[in-house]
Amino acid sequence: MNRNPGDDARHGASAERHSSVKVVLPNVTIAMTMRNMLRAYLFGSLTIEIDGRTMPEIAGLRPRSVLAWLLSNPGTHARAHVAALFWPDVLDISARASLRNALWGIRRALDTVGGAAYLESDRESVGIADGLAREVDTEEFVRLAERDDTASLREALMLAHAPLLADLADDWVLDAREEFRERAGAAAARLAELCEQDGDLRGAVSWTRRAIAHVPVRESSYRALMQRLAKLDERGEALAAFERCRAMLDAEFGTVPSESTRVLADRLRSGQGSGEGRRVAARPAEPGRQGALPGQAASRVRRSRQRPLVGRDSELTTLSRAWEGARRGNGGVVLISGAAGLGKSRLTTELIDTVSGQGPRCAVGTAFELDGAPPYAPWGDVLHQLVADVPAPSRDASWPSDLARLCRSVEWRWGRPAARSSADPEQERRWLFASVAEALAWCSGDRPLLLVLEDIHLADTASIALIASLGRRLTELPVLLVATRRPASAPAKLVIAIDTLRRQDALVTDIHLGRLSATELDTVVWSCAPELGEDARDRAVEVAEGNPLLARRAALAASDGADPSDELRDWIRAPLARLDGPARLLVDAVALLGRPMDTGEAAALVGSQQLAEALERAGHEELLEIEARRIRFVHALVRQACGAEIEPSRRAWLHGRIAEMLEERPGRPVAEIARHLLNAGDWERAQAYLITAAEKARSLGAFDEAAGLYSEAASLDAGSRTIRAELWLALADVHAWRGRKDEHDTAFAHACTVLEEVDDSAALAGAYALRGRCLRTTLCHPGEALRAYERALHIIDTEHLDAPELRAIVVAGLGWIEVASGDLERAEALLAEAEVVPEAGTDLGLAAEVCLARAAALLRRGRPRGSERESEDAAGLARRAGRQDLACTALVHAAGACAAQGQFERVLELADRVRRSRPASGMADEALAARAYALARTGRCAEAWEAALAYVRSVASTGDASQEARAEFDAASVALDTGRYGEAATRFASALAEPSGQFSRALARVRLAEALVRDGLLGAAHRELEQVPFEPAGQTQLPETLVPRLELVEGLIAAARGASDRALHCLASAEAAWRRMLGVPSAGEPGTVTFVDLARPPVGGQVEPGVELGRVLAERAVLLSDVGRADDARAAAEEAILLADRLGFDGYRQRVNALRSPVVTTE
Amino acid sequence: MPSFEESVICRAPPLEVWKLLHDPARVPEWYSGVAHATTTPDGAILYLGDREEDAYPVRIAPESERSRVLIRCLITDDLYTWSLEPHPDGCLVRVRVDVAAEPVDERRDGVLASLPKLAAAAERSGVGG
């Protein structure tokens, strides 16, 4: 293996460590102190030496990254700042606990070579000790570059021999790597200037070329190169540099060189050199063969592939009609379904061509044909195009910052950096989805929008969920989303998403492309090979079997003299063989990239000057085409065939080249880089990129994709055991977010096994704490959560771990579990213990959580007033901690406490406060739900129904079927309570149709039965009741309240069937149950007890036995009156009215009043 | 953890058995040794026997699977998993008991005594009124 000068520098330094104080290397002189000297090499892989002894590798990627960051950022730093930087997606205290663990690992590694003193830390701060001697190559680079003399700049550039921290792929590392690449480019450019001043023009040219190699997209470097070459009288070379500049600018930015560069080129052409000659008018360069622009080549490529659209007139008419609807503001989704080669893409291209005269804005995104593609890839593609074409929205709008997390062009083009991620990836997903909806509204504000998403059967589940979430919004916008798919390969998620779109009336049409007739195929064959004889044409038509793509390829093969009955792969061998180096490289690279390649990427791979010709040749062979600066295969089948022709060794090499290219591209698609590094066999670096990609996916709420990426990283035979343990734990966390308990258990078990093997008690305790949180929150297994937390606490205590933050987290977690379903005394003791941990005192987020837990405990104790106050306090603390999500949760909790006190006006007030805080948050939906409930409860039926519908609409934008089902359940409850029985039945049934719905299914069956019986559908109601035992029902769903509710419905059915005795028996049983819950065994003492499901406040989670008793009494009064028991009827009616008065509930008052009046009159 | 399973066929629809399992007030009708049951303020169900020391708080545990009711004793940690299946004669009631502490036989005896009472109570409810 070749060693570069930087390697020499390291090995030289190591070899000389015992004998001298200065090491002189070829072209590099580095001062060294032999005693108490830390030397850090950040260029290349991170290497640390203490007095010449190499520090062993730190276990874990994150600790290594922390050390590199501390070395790159001299001075002391607040622990909270460093923790938030490296663990942004968790609670502050949890991040601090992780930082403590990482610092412990760093100190241990430094200590093995006697360098522990270099890590300086106390309770609040951390940094590399200032007073001890150290040399960090990046600091040395900066120092040398600032000296601004030839020798120093040369030395600086020798140091920057390799990419910064090549073995890490954290975001900060990638940013720093880009920064040092820029710095190296600037140093080379400055060195070139100094060489020129010294009269060393050859040297100046050489360093200018180096500057371009570091930063290939800076026009001024090309201009300097042209000038210096001209001074050397090398005009041909200078003009070649101009052509490279022009090709680069066209490929990268779609622009032409600036006027000053063009003027210089004109002077060179006219033989005036770079001297003081006469200025000439700028004019565009001649488009010669050598200098043809990709765009110009594209027009030739497009001409060569022009082909008529055959046999798709009716489909095009349908599409055009959908577009007309969208133009009028009634957008939606159109699916084009069909097998490969039937012309789905061709049809969308025709639509774009047809409507382009009407001035729409168009954008095309393609799902990657690549395993483990980044989440939202096709959407990122589309949004990048839109953002580039649309002015920035007002600074007042917050959504661009959310959108920037998916599409970095938002930062570059609109100057809006990405918002910091919160601790709740679910919420991040909602914000992201909402931001995409807002972006589409913004981009369609001045003209209609036509979006094309190709091959969505290949799309990641997050992209598919996003499509589903947009459905309803699209129907209100001038936006048509056309998506192509192969039905045979459609994943289950896509089928569900299509169903969702259909339910939302957002699916405008689903066009199924069939096979073409022989006559139509004959037209296809003739259009591309008119020279073929009739027999050859017939043969081409016959082998195509109705597929226009195959007909075209068969015709081209026949035209080449090949047998049309060959396979597609045979047909493309001849055209591939005709391609020269750059064109073949381009075709192979596009085949392996798995998505359209933008021209900038292609230029970086094959050279900007070679690109136009390569593209022209590949286009001439009908392999590649270019559209809107995106190079792609004419068809996916052709891509597959070309990909299959690449030899394994060349394939690995190409993947490595593509990875290198992508690493230097703006935006750095980390998931793609990981994929290509994997295919290139570079597993160590692939693992680092997979981890970064997984973290990004998780932070965007793309859990399926994150799980896939973590799994893959964990399964690689790379990285230390500690890294693998970190990966298994991260995977366990993601599985918890996905609600996959079994998979969480498996991943956690793997992590534990590894951590026990490496005997890392601190990490093991942290692992159990993480498991406790997962089981307590997302997975909702309080019993197992309790055991996990207890195990964490046991390890902390028996191993005497110095882990105060972790202890506080564990103790608070235990407190929460006790609050939810255990011993309230113990809960309060635990919460108090968590609060007194000094390291936890500064964490307002934890303080807010503890406060909220205490509020929940008070509610459980039946003290809603105190609970409301604690909830308000928790909201205040959460706001101060910057935890808007937690603040909203606390306010919703306060609303629940108010509802429990019967203060429904206050519920409405709190709900409005939540809604005003951040419209896209999940808690804002909860606030809408609370509003609908409170309005229904207070008899404001029309407003309640309007609020319920707003709630359903808002949740529909999440694309989350389980949440949508819960919203349907809540809306159905409002419908039932406001007398919309048919609507209620439909919505309960819709909620029950979703198996993952987050609501009590048993209660939904009971309430559906009630809606049906009140609508007169007795048989259907009875059948629903029969299903109740087969639905899950647990303690948190207040199962004891289900029985009397069920008995009320049984009573209604029996009464409607004329079985009065049975009906009265059921109602009496229900009445007795509610009375028991109220603690009042007899009539006349109505109470105000309220049961609250802590997991689901306040809608659907609140049961008011007094109200329920009133409902039963009202029904009983009616029935008694019907059977002639007037006195009993009157007594029941009187008590029902008394309850209604006391509880402020009007739901049955009118009915009972009407009933009571004649009874009273009779008396 | 030792465990055992028992079953009974009940001539009443599953709904009637389900109501009995979920209604604290009706536990004494079918659970052998329980004279009284009540819901505690924090939502647990307290089974009370004839003797003062026979007080067992239980909870209906969260259960995501269909057709099963999980009841856990908060003192012994025993877990009773009840499952109901439609049967031509009415309903097949199965119970699996995971015994945490006490001798298994004692638990089995209790279950064997309770099952016929559960079936009888459900049958009475089915024709009640």
Q: Is residue A905 part of a domain?
A: no
pLDDT at A172 over 80: yes
Choosing from A175, A202, A237, the residue where a domain stops is A175
Q: Is the Cβ pair B62, A1034 closer than 8 Å? A: yes
Confidence at residue B126, expressed as pLDDT on a 0 to 100 scale: 67
pLDDT band at A69 (very low <50, low <70, confident <90, very high): very high
B70 CB neighbours in chain A (<8 A) are 1034
Q: What whole-number distance in Å separates Cα of residue A454 and Cα of residue A352?
A: 13
Among A322, A462, A349, A325, smallest CA distance to A406 is for A462
Question: What CATH class does B3-23+60-126 carry?
Answer: alpha beta
pLDDT band at A425 (very low <50, low <70, confident <90, very high): confident
Q: Domain check: are A411 and A324 in the same one?
A: yes
Confidence at residue A583, expressed as pLDDT on a 0 to 100 scale: 92
From chain A, which residues contact B within 8 Å (Cβ)? 780-783, 821, 824, 860-862, 1025-1026, 1028-1036, 1038-1040, 1042-1043, 1046-1047, 1054, 1059, 1061-1066, 1072-1073, 1076-1077, 1091
Q: Domain check: are A452 and A541 in the same one?
A: no
Confidence at residue A513, expressed as pLDDT on a 0 to 100 scale: 87
Tokens of A981: 């029985």
Q: Is the Cβ pair B59, A821 closer than 8 Å? A: yes
Of A781, A1033, A1035, the CB nearest to B59: A1035
pLDDT band at A1017 (very low <50, low <70, confident <90, very high): very high
CB A622 within 8 A of CB A575: yes
Q: Is residue A631 part of a domain?
A: yes
B27 CB neighbours in chain A (<8 A) are none
pLDDT at A762 over 90: no
Determine the average pLDDT of the residues in A320-346.
89
Determine the average pLDDT of the residues in A114-142.
87
Determine the average pLDDT of the residues in A739-762.
90
Q: What whole-number distance in Å separates Cα of residue A1050 and Cα of residue B15?
A: 11
Q: Could you read off the pLDDT of A575-584 as tens digits, one per residue?
A: 888 888 899 9
pLDDT at A297 over 60: no
Total count of domains within chain A = 5
The residue extents of the domains of chain B are 3-23+60-126
Q: Domain check: are A462 and A372 in the same one?
A: yes
Q: Domain check: are A1014 and A1140 in the same one?
A: no
pLDDT at A561 over 80: no
Query: Which CATH number belongs to the domain containing residue A1041 in this structure?
Result: 1.25.40.10
Q: Could you read off the pLDDT of B14-45 as tens digits, one per residue?
A: 999 988 888 878 888 888 888 887 776 666 67
Confidence at residue B60, expressed as pLDDT on a 0 to 100 scale: 65
Angle between helices A636-644 and A581-593 (to 10 degrees): 110
Determine the average pLDDT of the residues in A707-733.
86
Q: Could you read off the pLDDT of A634-683 as tens digits, one per residue?
A: 888 888 888 888 988 899 999 999 999 998 887 778 888 999 999 999 98
Of A1029, A1035, A1066, the CB nearest to B61: A1035
A780 CB neighbours in chain B (<8 A) are 62
Query: Which CATH number belongs to the domain containing residue A47 in this structure?
Result: 1.10.10.10
Q: How many CB atoms lie within 10 A of CB A133?
A: 15
Query: Which residues contact residue A267 at a Cβ distance below 8 angstroms, ignoring those fewer than 6 apart?
Result: A273, A274, A277, A279, A280
pLDDT at A946 over 90: yes
Confidence at residue A1163, expressed as pLDDT on a 0 to 100 scale: 37
pLDDT at A1134 over 70: yes
Range of the domain at A639: 516-604+618-646
A1030 CB neighbours in chain B (<8 A) are 14, 66-67, 84
Confidence at residue B66, expressed as pLDDT on a 0 to 100 scale: 56
Confidence at residue A52, expressed as pLDDT on a 0 to 100 scale: 83
pLDDT band at A448 (very low <50, low <70, confident <90, very high): very high
Confidence at residue B43, expressed as pLDDT on a 0 to 100 scale: 62
Tokens of A1104: 């008011």
What chain A residue is nearest to B17 in terms of C-alpha separation?
A1029
Q: Is residue A1025 part of a domain?
A: yes
Q: Domain check: are A349 and A496 in the same one?
A: yes
pLDDT at A787 over 80: yes
pLDDT band at A272 (very low <50, low <70, confident <90, very high): low
Confidence at residue A442, expressed as pLDDT on a 0 to 100 scale: 93
Tracing tokens 């609600």 back to the chain, one arrives at: A739
Query: Which of A361-375, A403-417, A601-615, B111-125 is predicted least confidently?
Result: A361-375
DSSP state string for A1063-1077: HHHHHHHHHHHHHHH
Q: For chain B, report the end-to-end CA distance as a whole number of angstroms.
A: 43
Residue B33: phi and psi, rounded to 5, are 90, -10
pLDDT at A33 over 80: no
pLDDT at A304 over 70: no
Of B24, B42, B67, the CB nearest to A1040: B24
Q: Closest Cα of chain B to A1104: distance in Å?
A: 15
Q: Is the Cβ pair A1043, B128 closer than 8 Å? A: no
Confidence at residue A751, expressed as pLDDT on a 0 to 100 scale: 92
Q: Please count the residue pairs, one from chain A and one from chain B, whose beta carbons lie less than 8 angstroms apart.
A: 83
Q: Domain check: are A622 and A549 in the same one?
A: yes
Confidence at residue A1082, expressed as pLDDT on a 0 to 100 scale: 38
Question: Across A768-772, A846-850, B96-100, which has the greatest mean pLDDT?
Answer: A768-772
Classify residue A44 as left (phi > 0), alpha (psi -120 to 50) or beta: left
Confidence at residue B99, expressed as pLDDT on a 0 to 100 scale: 85
Determine the average pLDDT of the residues in A886-908.
87
Are β-strands A38-41 and A134-136 bridged in parallel, bridged antiparallel, or unpaired? Answer: parallel
pLDDT at A842 over 80: no
Give the CA distances from residue A654 to residues A60, A647, A658, A675, B115, in Å, rounded to whole numbers and listed in that order: 30, 10, 6, 12, 71
Determine the average pLDDT of the residues in A821-832.
82
SS3 string of A318-346? HHHHHHHHHHCCCCEEEEEECCCCCCHHH
What chain A residue is nearest to B59 in terms of C-alpha separation?
A1035
pLDDT at A88 over 60: yes
Q: Domain check: are A1028 and A1050 in the same one?
A: no
What chain A residue is nearest to B60 in terms of C-alpha separation?
A1035
Q: Is the Cβ pair A1034, B129 closer than 8 Å? A: no
pLDDT at A773 over 80: yes
Q: Is the Cβ pair B22, A1039 closer than 8 Å? A: yes
Q: Domain check: are A444 and A527 in the same one?
A: no
Q: Is the Cβ pair B25, A1072 closer than 8 Å? A: yes
Q: Is the Cβ pair A1040, B129 closer than 8 Å? A: no
What chain B residue is nearest to A822 in terms of C-alpha separation?
B42
Q: Is residue A909 part of a domain?
A: no
What chain A residue is nearest to B129 in terms of C-alpha separation?
A1062
Query: Which residues contact residue A1023 at a Cβ distance below 8 angstroms, ignoring those fewer than 6 apart?
Result: none
pLDDT at A17 over 80: no
What chain A residue is nearest to B68 in terms of C-alpha separation?
A1032
Choosing from A514, A534, A566, the residue where a domain stops is A514
B23 CB neighbours in chain A (<8 A) are 1040, 1043, 1073
pLDDT at A1071 over 50: yes
Q: Could you read off the pLDDT of A506-529 as tens digits, one per residue?
A: 899 999 988 888 888 888 888 878
Choosing from A121, A149, A175, the residue where a domain stops is A175
Q: Could you read off the pLDDT of A219-271 as tens digits, one per residue?
A: 889 999 999 999 888 888 898 889 888 888 877 777 788 888 888 988 888 87
pLDDT at A1089 over 60: no
Q: Closest Cα of chain A to B21: distance in Å?
A: 9
CB A1100 within 8 A of CB A1000: yes
pLDDT at B114 over 70: yes
Q: Which segments within A27-92 are labelled E, that is strand?
A: 28-31, 38-41, 47-50, 53-54, 76-78
pLDDT band at A29 (very low <50, low <70, confident <90, very high): very low
At CA A720, angle to CA A716 and CA A721, rounded to 5? 90
pLDDT at A1141 over 90: no
Query: Which CATH number belongs to the domain containing residue A444 in this structure?
Result: 3.40.50.300
> Which of residues A959 and A436 earns the better pLDDT score?
A436
> Which of residues A752 and A88 earns the better pLDDT score?
A752
Q: Is the Cβ pair B41, A1066 closer than 8 Å? A: no
pLDDT at A287 over 50: no
Confidence at residue A248, expressed as pLDDT on a 0 to 100 scale: 81
Q: Closest Cα of chain A to B78: distance in Å?
A: 13
Q: Closest Cα of chain A to B23: distance in Å?
A: 6
Query: Which residues contact residue A941 at a Cβ distance below 8 angstroms, ignoring those fewer than 6 apart?
Result: A935, A978, A979
Confidence at residue A273, expressed as pLDDT on a 0 to 100 scale: 53
> Which of residues A280 and A171 earns the better pLDDT score?
A171
Query: Which of A591-595, A701-705, B70-74 is predicted least confidently?
Result: B70-74
Q: Domain check: are A561 and A595 in the same one?
A: yes
Q: What ipTM goes with this model?
A: 0.87
Question: Across A976-990, A1074-1088, B98-112, which has the greatest mean pLDDT?
Answer: A976-990
Q: Closest Cα of chain B to A1020: distance in Å?
A: 16
> Which of residues A310 and A205 earns the better pLDDT score?
A205
Q: How many CB atoms lie within 10 A of CB A560?
A: 14
Q: Closest Cα of chain B to A885: distance in Å?
A: 26
**Eight-class DSSP state of A594:** S
Confidence at residue A343, expressed as pLDDT on a 0 to 100 scale: 85
Of A860, A1047, A1066, the CB nearest to B42: A860
Q: Closest Cα of chain A to B44: distance in Å?
A: 8
Model confidence, pTM: 0.70
Query: Which residues contact residue B50 at a Cβ distance below 8 angstroms, ignoring those fewer than 6 apart?
Result: B33, B35
Mean pLDDT over each residue of chain A, to the nearest integer:
82
From chain B, which residues contact A within 8 Å (Cβ)? 13-15, 17-19, 22-25, 39, 41-43, 45, 59-70, 72, 84, 128-129
pLDDT at A31 over 60: no
Of B14, B22, B62, the CB nearest to A780: B62
Q: Domain check: are A1082 and A1133 in the same one?
A: yes
Confidence at residue A102, expressed as pLDDT on a 0 to 100 scale: 87
Q: Is the Cβ pair B39, A1072 closer than 8 Å? A: no
pLDDT band at A1160 (very low <50, low <70, confident <90, very high): very low
B72 CB neighbours in chain A (<8 A) are 783
Determine the average pLDDT of the residues in A1111-1123.
92
